[in-house]
Structure 1
Amino acid sequence: MRRAYFKNNWIAALMVAPQLLIIFVFFYWPTSQAIYWAFTLEQPWGGGNEWVGFENFRQLLTDSQYWDSVRVSVIYAIATTALAMGMALILALFADRQLTGYKFYRVGLIWPYAVAAPAVGLSFRFIFNPSAGLFSYINHLFPGLWDPIMNGSHALFMVIVAGAWKQIAYSFIFFLAALQSIPRSLTEACAMDGSGVLRRMWDLQLPLMAPTFFFLLVINITDSFTDSFGIVDTLTVGGPARATNLMVYKIYEDGFRGLDYSGAAAQSIILMLLVIALTFFQFRFVERRIHYS
């Protein structure tokens, strides 16, 4: 195979420049500013920033409210990842079977991926509303059973379900593609040997889908930590009593509402390091159990 090359280097530079500009403006520049703010403290009434070293991080790591935010974020990430991947796998297994109208089901299950997080939050805010939504019927039958406005556990459950619903479509696409990449001759051979649907899924399909599982595990966990702001902001605004105040939402609260830019920047650095550490852990230990051939 012949390699493509440019006779004039300026043509290659011209074609790469827009992408490099986008990366610099929206990634490297904000990251450098966050690092600068994380190690400095803005002077009262302006007047520049004072170098404080790790003082912002020390205050965060000794703050019980911040650790509560970390705990809630971990619970949210694990629950949404497990729920989204589990439901997506079940839906993909059903959609892969060529039943009547299977093409319609495939398209319908992909559409939720295009819905923005704030729209998802508003929809579930109505569905889980204890006085006007669908869950109002539950409270009518069992008064006081469902109250996400006052009960933190109910509110966190509501956010988890909304976040998982948002991620199901993305996982569904990859699970369905993985299932369709398995040669039909293998499944037909298993069926001829007398294996049932569940046995074929457990012994044949799931092992061959291991690389897809690993990829979606990394993506879903990362997305749970970094892309939950819209859902939390429209559903619970971090409440009640900070029960749904995830790390990414606490950064917004402290930075844009509390005007603690240095503390918010330090939180963003910790969140970035946490996501990097989780990704490294998955590649270092989880990938060992994955077979690509």
Structure 2
Amino acid sequence: MQVFYSDHFVLPLPPEHRFPMQKYRLLRQKVSTIPGIVLSEATGATDSQLLLAHDPAYLQSLIRGTLDPRAQREIGFPWSEAMVERSRRSVGATIAASRVALQEGVAVNLAGGTHHAYRDHGSGFCVFNDVAVAARSLQRELGRRSMRIAIIDLDVHQGDGTASIFANDPTVYTLSVHGERNFPFRKQTSRLDIALPDGTQDTTYLEALRHGLQTLENQWEPEFIFFLAGADPHKQDRLGRMNLTDRGMKLRDAQVFEFAKKHQLPIAITMAGGYGLDINTTVAMHLQTVQAAATYWNDYLEHPAHPPGV
């Protein structure tokens, strides 16, 4: 199974910054021990690719370093050339994963899931919206603007930027299962939003996800899935405010892969958020997602679906 990474491109942050940049390197090291994994460093997304989902003025302000202080604060990172390059690489990894998944059933970006980035501004540690860019890139490369894509966002925070970008796009179904009272405090409208209270435990979460996937199945016939597998619903996450156990997180992933298997759909996975009290817990949650993806990859190769548009 092909897995893409970009952790050699590190965003310089002050020591007290709460974003766990080192989790990407630690995760890659763990993933490298899984049999059958092929690790590849991602190339950066081009300007033309980024413009499929982002405003030209916003892109130019990032490239030139002319973002105003308020916009930088909303992103949560200080501007630097390294910030822009790392963000390009993260998007590039999701684009690469989607291309491979189309042919091989599944592929993974060990970063990505930057779902708070809007068309014209960044937010919440998200500079570019990698899944939005990759979805539009996939449609363009296949010459099928009508290709039906489902985005299953299981980060604990609502995918507000993604919902906004695809608000008027009938080809993309956005499903977000998130904390009702968590960031962002001004939510956008996904095709299907499932907002859960603080302290939600395994049984309630898994039932809500089951309902969401059943609704998706009833309302939509996707040809491709992007899965944002946030580690932050875990009970030991500093920012999550939910109470899922290790087993609950594993069963969450299993539901998504069972849905994909039932419909024989290719799936590209991004790691999205994770801010564990112990960074090793976050890495462990991401690792079990990659392990589940590897199992799905083996199943898919045994029963390959016909790639959409091919």
TM bucket (normalised to shorter chain) is under 0.3
- Higher relative strand content: 2
Larger helix proportion of the pair = 1
The normalised TM-score by structure 1 is 0.28
Larger radius of gyration: 1
Higher RCO, Cα 8 Å, sep 6+: 1
